[in-house]
Amino acid sequence: GQNIDQPTEMTATEGAIVQINCTYQTSGFNGLFWYQQHAGEAPTFLSYNVLDGLEEKGRFSSFLSRSKGYSYLLLKELQMKDSASYLCACYFDRGSTLGRLYFGRGTQLTVWP
């Protein structure tokens, strides 16, 4: 539900920069999370955006444009261990009381040496 879209797969080389995009329905939007998920493991929290702009956290940054229904996760100085699925997840305030998250299908990033 909520039409959260992100590319299925991306590849990049070690040391490079990669940008993973996410689009969502703007109606009722109330915040966006990025999670990293290695195969067979739990999603781990990376970032949260609710206001327009860029949030930087070390090698990872996340950007949000509420009016465009668009976010991206920027990964710099890629390392082999960054190979994982990156999940975009949104809050919508339509009757949701405790921050139910709606997830996209995830973007599988492969980092090559």
User: Which residue of 51, 67, 81, 98 would you call a contact of another protein, by CB under 8 A?
Assistant: 98
When asked if residue 87 is in the footprint of another protein (CB under 8 A), the reply is: yes
Q: What is the radius of gyration, based on Cα positions, of the chain?
A: 14
Give the Cα separation of 31 and 66 in Å (integer). 9
Residue placing its CB nearer to another protein in the complex, 46 or 78: 46
When asked if residue 38 is in the footprint of another protein (CB under 8 A), the reply is: no
When asked if residue 106 is in the footprint of another protein (CB under 8 A), the reply is: yes
Handedness of CA 110, 12, 23, 52 (dihedral sign): positive
User: Which residue of 3, 13, 28, 45 would you call a contact of another protein, by CB under 8 A?
Assistant: 45
Cα angle 27-30-34, degrees, rounded to a multiple of 5: 115
Give the Cα separation of 86 and 52 in Å (integer). 20
Residue 103 near residue 89, CB atoms below 8 Å:
yes
Smallest gap from Cβ 44 to another protein, in A, equals 7
Residue placing its CB nearer to another protein in the complex, 78 or 90: 90
Which residues form the interface with another protein (CB under 8 A)?
31, 33, 35, 41-45, 48, 50, 87, 89, 91, 95-106
